[in-house]
């Protein structure tokens, strides 16, 4: 098993690094945190995956690798939820 860490600071770097890795990767472990917000395109279909996860989910990258997205919980941060609970209607269920 080989572990390799890449740190990126721009959208262009994300593309270059992902393309350079090719199909030799079985698992991506990526972070999702507020400092990366400028890297996320507001039109991203997968913003909840973070910037790297969004690029991996894009159709321009062909990969069979798995993706694990990690987000450190910070109770003092005021981060909005990606999906609001009010967005979903839950069916009424009887308690009987």
pLDDT in tens, 31-48: 776 555 555 555 566 667
CB-based contact 14:53 (threshold 8 Å): no
Q: What is the CA radius of gyration of the chain?
A: 17
Does residue 3 lie in a domain region? no
Percent of the chain clearing pLDDT 90 (strictly above): 0
Does residue 93 lie in a domain region? no
Number of domains in the chain: 1
Domain containing residue 58 = 11-71
Q: What is the pTM of this model?
A: 0.54
Instruction: Residue 30: name the closest of 79, 61, 68 by CA.
Output: 68
- In this predicted structure, what is the pLDDT of residue 27? 84
CA–CA dist 5, 49 (Å, integer): 18
Does residue 63 lie in a domain region? yes
Does residue 86 lie in a domain region? no
The strand pairing partners of 31, in sequence order, are 70
């Amino acid at each position: 098993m080989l572990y390799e860490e890449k740190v990126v600071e721009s959208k262009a770097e994300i593309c270059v690094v992902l393309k350079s890795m090719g199909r030799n990767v079985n698992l991506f472990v990526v972070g999702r945190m507020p400092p990366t917000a400028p890297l996320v395109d507001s039109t991203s279909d997968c913003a909840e995956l973070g910037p790297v996860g969004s690029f991996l989910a894009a159709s321009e990258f062909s990969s069979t690798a798995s993706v694990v997205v990690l987000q450190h919980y910070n109770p003092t941060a005021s981060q909005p939820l990606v999906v609001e609970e009010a967005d979903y209607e839950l069916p009424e269920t009887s308690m009987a």
